[in-house]
Structure 1
């Protein structure tokens, strides 16, 4: 399966290609065509721990998606065609941007709106000591 779509003759892989190959290897492994040597070689060729993590996640995602389709009694060749031949793997943005859910909160933008020195700000009531309670 894997060998019919990807050449084993490579010396270096870009991150995108390594992730795509790992995904395909995961699909192939779930279909009974495990190629552990190629998978380990791709991981070993990664430039960083982050890239190795992406490769591992891509492999596991391919394997998981193929097993889900396999559970629905789909032919292994059809699984391969559906997941590898007709799709592309989505990679995180390279600019290091965070997903919107992890973006800074709007509250942090209010720091520039505070006027005056910090001593003019009122503390919340639970931070104010009351002399009656400190006996």
Structure 2
């Protein structure tokens, strides 16, 4: 599975490619084609702890999504085709799995009405408050 889609002869991977490969390795592992050596090599090639964390999360997301499909009776080849070989692979948004994308709440931050000073702070944070004296 993995070997037919991703060549294993690499010397260096960018963050996006490493995350994409980790996702595919997670899917393959759930389908019974575990390639732990490649996964460990990709993690070892990461430039930072942050990148390694993204790789680990991507692997787990791929594995989790494949296991969900498997539990509904989907065949391993169909799982691979749906999650990895399709053009709608969930790892394509900014190179990150959907679960690692920006939160919707942050997307709406600039839509908040009024400046922050219009917000009231709790009374226990006010020094001049007679209840807190």
The two structures have a TM-score, normalised by structure 1, of 0.74
Cα shift at 1:88: 4.2
5+ residue gaps in structure 1?
Answer: 93-97, 112-120, 130-135
C-alpha contact 1:26 1:62 (8 A) present in aligned 2: yes
Aligned to 2:13, what secondary structure does the other structure show?
A: coil
Q: 1:109 aligns with which of 99, 108, 116?
A: 116
Q: Indicate yes or no: 2:117 matched with 1:126.
A: no
Larger radius of gyration: 1
Query: What does the per-residue CA deviation read over 1:77-105, in whole Å, with 9 as the maximum and x for residues that have no partner?
Result: 0000000011140328xxxxx74636699
Aligned to 1:52, what secondary structure does the other structure show?
A: helix
> What is residue 12 of structure 1 aligned with on the other side?
12
The two structures have a TM-score, normalised by structure 2, of 0.75
Question: Measured at CA, do residues 100 and 2 of structure 1 come closer, stay the same or move farther in structure 2, by a change above 3 Å?
Answer: closer
> What is residue 29 of structure 1 aligned with on the other side?
29
5+ residue gaps in structure 2?
Answer: 119-125
Aligned residue pairs total 114
Q: 1:100 and 1:63 mapped to 2: Cα distance?
A: 24
C-alpha contact 1:20 1:88 (8 A) present in aligned 2: no
